[in-house]
Structure 1
Amino acid sequence: MATSDDVHMGDAATSKPINANDYTDLLQTPHTDAFAFSETEQFALQLYDQLRELELEKSLLEAHVKDVSDVSALSDDVLHEHLMAAEREAMEAKAKFEIRNKVSQNVLIMDPVLKAVHGGQHHTVEKRLLPLISENDAVSMVHGLLTTKLANTQRILSAAERGNIATNKENRNQSRTVLELAEEAKAQSIEDIGNLSLREQVGKAEANVKESRKRTAIIKGILSAMIVGSGINWAADEELRELVMDDEEAG
């Protein structure tokens, strides 16, 4: 027997067409922006951020102190090497700190998350996180789907680029053949060529060139549309910009 909830769910499912690429409803959940920290929690988080900044500064200072020495007697080349080494050590110190910070953050986050999901009713503070955890899972799922689509688009783009290169190479070969045959036939038209075999070769070569140019134009059009539609900043890349602008000029 159908209940009133079933009826409402059925109406909601049929009232709006489903778009597989629309994640708006999935991301706009009832709990969006509903969570708010208390003043004590906000103050604790601010102190935590300050502590992390101080720890990072401490790590960088410790890496710097190790290399403090008198550089007045060093040549420019040696001084440059010392600067490069110091920069490398500073980057390594920062990377180690960030890894250690990430691990400690994961440890700190894990306990309240586990209590929010598996804890009993007495974990009221942690239970406030449960709606946000569900939303985080939804966003992570959408991110994974979009990442997969982006990877597929990039693979298709690479395949189209390889096809475009192969077509251009074939087009150049066909053009070279036509030029060679035209040089042999000189100013004669195809109908004026007395050698039947040569006339057929010239006709086939011209037909192949026309067909190759058509294929090249189609591939360029598809490739240009994929580049523009993918959201890639093609204007900042010289090769992509030439592909897109060349296709627009050809159109």
Structure 2
Amino acid sequence: MASNVDIRGPLPHLSESEGALLSLVEDDSQDAVALSDKEALILELYRKSGELELEKEFLSQEPGSYSGEDVEAQLAVAERELLEARATHTVRRKAINTILMADPILKAVHLKANSPPEREYRALLKLINRRDILSLVHENLAAAHDLTLKNLSDMEVENMELIEKNRALTQELLGLARQQDAWKEGLEDTGLAAQLEGLEKDRRKVQARWEIMQNIASAIVVGSGVNWAENADLRALVLDEED
């Protein structure tokens, strides 16, 4: 049987060496092994025998009569026993499969060049090589995935630290702003406080008029066609560098 590897175009998450390895295990129709009717029948019977054994394991568990106050506990015990029976069956089947596969794999791996051309063993050897290459690529990708997760975790920790630092700086800034306005609130002379408030309003009006005049002057300079970028004073006026 051919593997199911299908490489369509470049894979950016793979290194050049990993891509080269994967190119070696692409599907090749010439490597496909066609099973005979007898071989297919044997595999189907083997699969059905496994299903029958599993059903037998389940049926061998004696059904109990559940009554009383601990019905849920009894059901939990029965469920655990069924799971244990299935696990035992699975382990036994895997052991049998491993034993059955060991001999043809060894023959395929140690196949000599001058030995009779047994197509099954030669086809199996190609599939074994593909499996080993895919295992190597999978191991490399798993290591890269772990490294990516570690970097992501480090960045998340760093981001949390920056958020906490930003929160502390914000609190410090708010504290400084409150301190700046605290002396005004502490003035007992209402006349002086009113005078300061009036001066602040006048300052805002003057600043607003200045900004309007500056914007007009900037527009005139830009619209005049003068190369204002080469002149420091004109550049400061247009770009408002002082702000």
Alignment correspondent of 2:102? 110
Aligned AA (2:104): P
Residues 176 and 19 from structure 1, CA distance in 2 versus in 1: closer, same or farther, beyond 3 angstroms? same
Aligned AA (2:128): I
- Note the alpha carbon deviations across 1:124-160, whole angstroms, 9 max, x for none: 2433312221222222222222122111111111111
Q: Structure 1: 5+ residue runs without aligned partners? A: 1-17, 189-251
- Note the alpha carbon deviations across 1:25-50, whole angstroms, 9 max, x for none: 23315467522222211111111111
Q: Is the 8 A contact 1:115 1:126 kept in 2?
A: yes
- Residue identity (%): 33
Residues 170 and 21 from structure 1, CA distance in 2 versus in 1: closer, same or farther, beyond 3 angstroms? farther
Between the aligned partners of 1:127 and 1:160, the Cα distance in structure 2 is 50
Alignment correspondent of 1:38? 36
Q: Is the 8 A contact 1:115 1:127 kept in 2?
A: no
What stretches of structure 1 move > 6 A for 4+ residues in a row? Answer: none
Alignment correspondent of 2:68? 74
Residues 126 and 163 from structure 1, CA distance in 2 versus in 1: closer, same or farther, beyond 3 angstroms? same
Q: Is the 8 A contact 2:25 2:130 kept in 1?
A: yes
Q: Compute the TM-score of the two structures, normalised by the length of structure 1.
A: 0.58
Alignment correspondent of 2:131? 136
Secondary structure of 1:186 counterpart: helix
Between the aligned partners of 1:126 and 1:175, the Cα distance in structure 2 is 72
Residue 171 of structure 1 and its aligned partner are, at CA, apart by 1.9
Between the aligned partners of 1:126 and 1:41, the Cα distance in structure 2 is 15
Alignment correspondent of 1:249? none
Aligned AA (1:174): L
- Note the alpha carbon deviations across 1:221-243, whole angstroms, 9 max, x for none: xxxxxxxxxxxxxxxxxxxxxxx
2:74 aligned with 1:86? no
Between the aligned partners of 2:166 and 2:18, the Cα distance in structure 1 is 38
Secondary structure of 1:22 counterpart: helix
Q: Compute the TM-score of the two structures, normalised by the length of structure 2.
A: 0.59
Q: Is the 8 A contact 2:54 2:89 kept in 1?
A: yes
Match of 1:154 among 149, 172, 187: 149
- Note the alpha carbon deviations across 1:6-43, whole angstroms, 9 max, x for none: xxxxxxxxxxxx93453552331546752222221111
Alignment correspondent of 1:47? 45
Between the aligned partners of 2:138 and 2:30, the Cα distance in structure 1 is 17
Between the aligned partners of 1:79 and 1:33, the Cα distance in structure 2 is 57
Residue 180 of structure 1 and its aligned partner are, at CA, apart by 2.3
Q: Name whichever of 97-106 and 117-126 sits farther off.
A: 117-126
Q: Structure 2: 5+ residue runs without aligned partners? A: 1-14, 184-243
Bigger radius of gyration, 1 or 2? 2
Q: Is the 8 A contact 2:31 2:123 kept in 1?
A: no
Between the aligned partners of 1:182 and 1:105, the Cα distance in structure 2 is 76
